[in-house]
Structure 1
Amino acid sequence: MLETVNKVHDESRQGEAYAPAAEQDMTLAKKFYIESYGCQMNFNDSEIVASILQQEGYGATRNFEEADLVLLNTCSIREKAEQTVRKRLTEFRKFKRDKPGLLVGVLGCMAERLKSKFLDEEKLVDMVVGPDAYRTLPALISEAETGQKSINVLLSREETYADISPVRLDSNGITAFVSIMRGCNNMCSFCVVPFTRGRERSRDPLSIEAEARDLFERGYREVTLLGQNVDSYYYVNDDNTETINFANLLERVALISPLLRVRFSTSHPKDITDEVLHTMAKHENICKYIHLPVQSGSTRILQLMNRTYTREWYIKKVERIREILPECALSTDIIVGFCTETEEDHKDSMDMMEFARYDLAYMFAYSERPGTLAARRYQDDIPEDVKKRRLTEIVTIHRVHSLEAMQRDVGKTLKVLIEGESKRSKDDLFGRTDQNKVVVFPRENYAKGQYVMVKVHDCTAGTLLGTAVEFLG
C-alpha cells in the first residue's frame, strides 16, 4: 500500500505534473517548460506564470530539451512530493551540463519553505520564486542570465494576480479554474500552507466575474472557483460601501449564463454557511458537489489538528447539507496516523466514513512537515506499519462506498457536460455529471462542450457507462 492513496475517476486528467499545451504562440523565439505538482492552486499559478512569461516573449514547449527556461511549480504538503521534485531537479541539472544557457527555477511552496537552500546548499537551480513573487520573474530571469543566483520568496498581504489573465495550460477548452483568493488563515497544525502562501486575500469580484465571463464567451462551459478555503471569501470595496461574501460571489458567477456550470473548491467545514447551501439550491447550474475535508473522525485528534470543530459538529454539518441539498455529492480528505492517534481514534475515523459514505475521498498517512505547528508541538509517534495498516482499512471502507455511489446512478438519466474523447476508445466521449461523476457513452454525433442527457446502464468503481438519449445544447 502506498503511503498516499488518491481515489480518482477513470477518465480524469490526473497526475502529479503537466507540461504546457497549445494556448500559446509557439513561434516565439524563447521557450519555457513547466511542470506542476500538488494542489489545483499550483496548477492555476502555473497558468499565471505562463501569462507573465508570454509577455516576456516566451512560448511554451512540451519538450524540456527545447526549453531555454525550465520551471518546477512545487508542493510541500507531503514529503513524497518534495522527493519527486528533488529527483526531477537532479535530472535537469545533469541535462543542463550539456546546455549551459539553460535556466532552471523552482516555484511555489517548496521555494517558499526551503528558500536559498536550493541555491546555496544543493545548487540545484538558478532561481527560487515564491507564490507571491511571480511578477518579478522577468527581473529574476535577467539576473540569473548574468550568472547570479536569484531569489524572491517574499509573501504579500495584497497580491491576488487579479489583473493577469491566465494562459490555460493543457486545457480541454471546456473546463477551467478561476482563483478567487490566496493564502489561508486556518492554522491547522499539520499544514504548511499558511507559511508558504501567507494570509488570506480575497480577489476583486469584478475581475472574477470578468474572467469567468470571458471563459464562457470563448466556449468554456464550466468554471471552478478556487481557493484554499473559498467559503471564507470576503471582499470589501475601497470606499467600504459594498461587501461580497462567498454566497454573493457564487450567485454572481452563476448568473453569467445558465449554460455555465459553476463548481468550487475547497471548503472548510467551519465556514460553509446555510446561505451558500441555499444559493446552490437556488441555481441549477451550481453543481451539487462539495469537497468537505474531515481530516479525522476523532474529536481528540481534531483538536490536536486545530481544526476548530468536533466530530459531532461535523456530523451536523453533513446532515444540514443533505437537508438543504438532498442530492449533493460529498468528497473529503482524511489523514490516518496523526500524532498520538489510538486505535479508538482510528475507529472514530472509520465510523465517520461509514456515516458520511463519501462519493470521493483523498486518503493519506500522516507525513510530518517541517515548520508546522504539529512538528513543533507533537512527536510523530505512530509506526509506519501501523499507519499503512490503518490507511488500508480506510481505503477498503471507501471503495465500498464509492462503488455504491456509482451503482445508485445505474438506471438514472443524468445531465452530462461533454469534456472530450474517452481515453479508452475514440468511439466514446466522456463528461461529468453535476455530482462530478465521470460518464462514458458512444460518440454518435455529439461533441465536447455540449450538454446531453445520458441514460446510465452500468458502472465501474470510477465511471458511469451509458447512452445519450437527449441533446440539450
Structure 2
Amino acid sequence: MKKLYIETLGCAMNVRDSEHMIAELNQKEPYELTERVEEADLIIINTCSVREKPVSKLFSEIGIFRKYKKASAKIGVTGCTASHLGRDIIKRAPIVDFVLGARNVSKLSTVIDKRHAVEVDIDHDDSSYAFGEYRTNPFKAMVNISMGCDKSCTYCIVPATRGDEISIPTDLIVGEIKKAVATGAKEIMLLGQNVNNYGKYFSSDQEKCNFTELLKRVSRINGLERIRFTSPHPFHMGDEFLTEFASNPKICKQIHVPLQSGSTSILKEMKRGYSKEWFINRCQKIRELCPEATISTDIIVGFPGESDKDFADTMDVLEQVRFEQLFSFKYSPRPLTAAAEYSNQIPNEIASARLTKLQARHTEIVDEIMNAQMDREHMVYFDELKPNGRVSGRSDDGKLFFVKGSEDLLGKIERVKVIKTSRGALDGELLMVNV
C-alpha cells in the first residue's frame, strides 16, 4: 500500500478538501496516511492564501520536503495558493509534480499521473459531484453546503481562488449527512464561505431552499444530535434565521459572527454590507433569543485608512458584545484584491500596537468568562482520545472539555461539571455515564 503525507493549512474548508482528496485517491488505489514525510510516496500541501504567511510557508515546506523525500515520491500543491499562483509554483519549484486549485479537487486522480499538470479553473463546478466517504474523525463530520463566494470584500482573495458562489444540491447534502450518521457521527459541521446565503445560486434545477430551511431538513435526520455551521455572514442574519438558531434543539448554541471592523466607515471601505449598528443589533438579538449562546468573531486591525477613532469603534464593539472567542490579525495586503492598491496603508508598528491592545483586552474578557464557568454543568460530546487517560469533547456552546476516561466515552454525550478553568479549555468531572 502506498503512503500519503498531507499537510493542511488554513480553514475548515481546507480540512474538508483534504478529506475529499484522500477519498478520491482511495477510489483509485488505497493509500495509508503517514506522519513521516521520508516514507511517503505522495506528498500533498493543501494551502491557504488568506494571509501572506501561509504562502511564504509553502515554499519553505517544499524546500524541506525536497531534502527528506524519497526519490520516487511525488509532491502536489493544492488549495487556494495553488489557485492564484498556478504554474508559477512549478516555475519557482520545479520539484512540484502537480498543482490543483481549490475549485478542482475532483480532478485529483487525473492530475496525479501527469508530470507538471496544472488545474486551477475557478469556474469549475464540483457542486453536484459526489465525493467518496472519508473522515478524519468517525464521531463528527464536516459537510460542504456551498463553494465559492459572491461577496467582493476588498481585503479578501477568496473569490479569486474559490470562484463564484454555488450552493450544493440539498438532497446531496442530506444524503451525505445520513451516510455520516450511519457510520457513527452524531455531530456535523456545515461549511461554506457564507453559509446563511445558501440557496441563492444553484448550477442546476433545484427546489428552492434557503439556509433556515436547510437547517430544518437536516435536523430531521434520525440519529443526528448536533448541528454546527461556519461561517454565517452578518448581512444575512435575518430574524427568521436567528429564531431557528435559537429554537432548534439540535443546533449547537455557538455562532461565529465575523465583525472584521467595528467602524462603519471602514466596513464600507471593506464592502462588508453592514454597519456597526447592524452588527451590534444582530448580536443583541442572539443574546435576547438565546442567552446561553457563545459568539465568536474575526477582526482585522490596520486596514488601510483605519484611524484611531475607527479602531476605538472596534474596541467598543468588543466591550459591548464580549466575544467568547476572537480570531484577530493585522491587515495583510493580498494580490488580486482592491485594498492592496490603496495608498493609505497603515504603518506596521501602528497596526501591531492596535492588535496587541485588542488581544490584551480580549484576553481579560475571556478570563472573566471562563473563570465564571467554575462548578457549572454542561452536556459534552466526547470525540477524541487524549494521552494520560483523558478524553476531550465540546459542550453544546463550543467549550473544549477534558475529563478522565477511556475510549468507552467516545461518541457519547455526557453531563460534566467544571472542576478547573483555564483560558482555552475546561477540566470536568463526569456526573453520570450513559450505558
Mapping 1:208-223, distance limit 5 Å: 208-223=173-188
In structure 2, give the amino acid aligned to 1:46.
Answer: S
Aligned counterpart, 2:412 = 450
Q: What is the SS of the residue equivalent to 1:35?
A: strand
Mapping 1:77-116, distance limit 5 Å: 77-95=50-68, 99-116=70-87
Q: What is the SS of the residue equivalent to 1:234?
A: coil
Q: Which residue of the other structure, out of 362, 369, 379, is the alignment partner of 1:405?
A: 369
Q: What is the SS of the residue equivalent to 2:178?
A: helix
1:227–1:265 Cα contact (<8 Å) kept = yes
Q: Which residue of the other structure, out of 121, 125, 134, is the alignment partner of 1:167?
A: 134
Per-residue CA deviation, residues 323-375 of structure 1 (Å, 9 max, x unaligned), is 22221110000011111111111111111111110000101011111111111
Q: What is the rounded CA distance, in whole Å, between the counterparts of 1:464 and 1:31 in structure 2?
A: 37
Q: What is the rounded CA distance, in whole Å, between the counterparts of 1:31 and 1:461 in structure 2?
A: 38
Cα 1:215–1:344 shift into 2, 3 Å:
same
Aligned counterpart, 1:3 = none
Answering whether residue 284 of structure 2 is matched by residue 319 of structure 1, we say yes
Aligned counterpart, 1:38 = 10
Deviation at 1:301, TM superposition (A): 1.0
Answering whether residue 328 of structure 2 is matched by residue 363 of structure 1, we say yes
- Structure number with the bigger relative contact order (C-alpha 8 A, sep ≥ 6) is 1
Range that drifts further, 439-448 or 327-336: 439-448
Range that drifts further, 396-405 or 274-283: 274-283
Mapping 1:225-236, distance limit 5 Å: 225-234=190-199
1:159–1:201 Cα contact (<8 Å) kept = no
Deviation at 1:132, TM superposition (A): 2.0
Q: Which residue of the other structure, out of 299, 305, 320, is the alignment partner of 1:340?
A: 305
2:181–2:223 Cα contact (<8 Å) kept = no
Q: Which segments of structure 1 move beyond 3 Å, counting only runs of 4 or more?
A: 235-241
Q: Which residue of the other structure, out of 153, 176, 198, is the alignment partner of 1:188?
A: 153
Q: What is the SS of the residue equivalent to 1:33?
A: strand
In structure 2, give the amino acid aligned to 1:39.
Answer: C
Per-residue CA deviation, residues 383-410 of structure 1 (Å, 9 max, x unaligned), is 2121111111010111111122223322
1:184–1:199 Cα contact (<8 Å) kept = yes
Range that drifts further, 318-327 or 288-297: 318-327
Range that drifts further, 403-412 or 84-93: 403-412
Q: What is the SS of the residue equivalent to 1:449?
A: coil
Answering whether residue 170 of structure 2 is matched by residue 205 of structure 1, we say yes
Q: Which residue of the other structure, out of 49, 59, 67, is the alignment partner of 2:21?
A: 49
Q: Which residue of the other structure, out of 226, 236, 239, is the alignment partner of 1:274?
A: 239
Aligned counterpart, 1:330 = 295
1:333–1:362 Cα contact (<8 Å) kept = yes
Q: What is the rounded CA distance, in whole Å, between the counterparts of 1:182 and 1:83 in structure 2?
A: 25
Answering whether residue 361 of structure 2 is matched by residue 390 of structure 1, we say no
In structure 1, give the amino acid aligned to 2:123.
Answer: S
> Superposition RMSD on alpha carbons, in Å?
2.0
Answering whether residue 112 of structure 2 is matched by residue 141 of structure 1, we say yes
Q: Which residue of the other structure, out of 248, 258, 269, is the alignment partner of 1:304?
A: 269
2:305–2:345 Cα contact (<8 Å) kept = yes
1:236–1:244 Cα contact (<8 Å) kept = no
Aligned counterpart, 1:151 = 118
Structure-1-length-normalised TM-score: 0.87
Per-residue CA deviation, residues 285-323 of structure 1 (Å, 9 max, x unaligned), is 210111000001111111111111111111111111122
Answering whether residue 430 of structure 2 is matched by residue 468 of structure 1, we say yes
Cα 1:68–1:238 shift into 2, 3 Å:
closer
Q: What is the rounded CA distance, in whole Å, between the counterparts of 1:290 and 1:158 in structure 2?
A: 29
1:277–1:325 Cα contact (<8 Å) kept = no
In structure 2, give the amino acid aligned to 1:461.
Answer: R
1:337–1:390 Cα contact (<8 Å) kept = yes
Deviation at 1:441, TM superposition (A): 2.5
Q: What is the rounded CA distance, in whole Å, between the counterparts of 2:78 and 2:238 in structure 1?
A: 34
Q: What is the SS of the residue equivalent to 1:436?
A: coil
Aligned counterpart, 1:128 = 99
1:64–1:70 Cα contact (<8 Å) kept = yes
Q: What is the rounded CA distance, in whole Å, between the counterparts of 1:281 and 1:304 in structure 2?
A: 32
Aligned counterpart, 1:12 = none
Q: What is the SS of the residue equivalent to 1:106?
A: strand
Aligned counterpart, 1:9 = none
Deviation at 1:135, TM superposition (A): 2.5
Answering whether residue 405 of structure 2 is matched by residue 439 of structure 1, we say no
Per-residue CA deviation, residues 243-290 of structure 1 (Å, 9 max, x unaligned), is 111111111111113652110000110012222222223321210111
Q: What is the rounded CA distance, in whole Å, between the counterparts of 1:33 and 1:112 in structure 2?
A: 21
Cα 1:329–1:472 shift into 2, 3 Å:
farther
Cα 1:209–1:279 shift into 2, 3 Å:
same
Q: What is the rounded CA distance, in whole Å, between the counterparts of 1:238 and 1:292 in structure 2?
A: 27
Q: What is the SS of the residue equivalent to 1:391?
A: helix
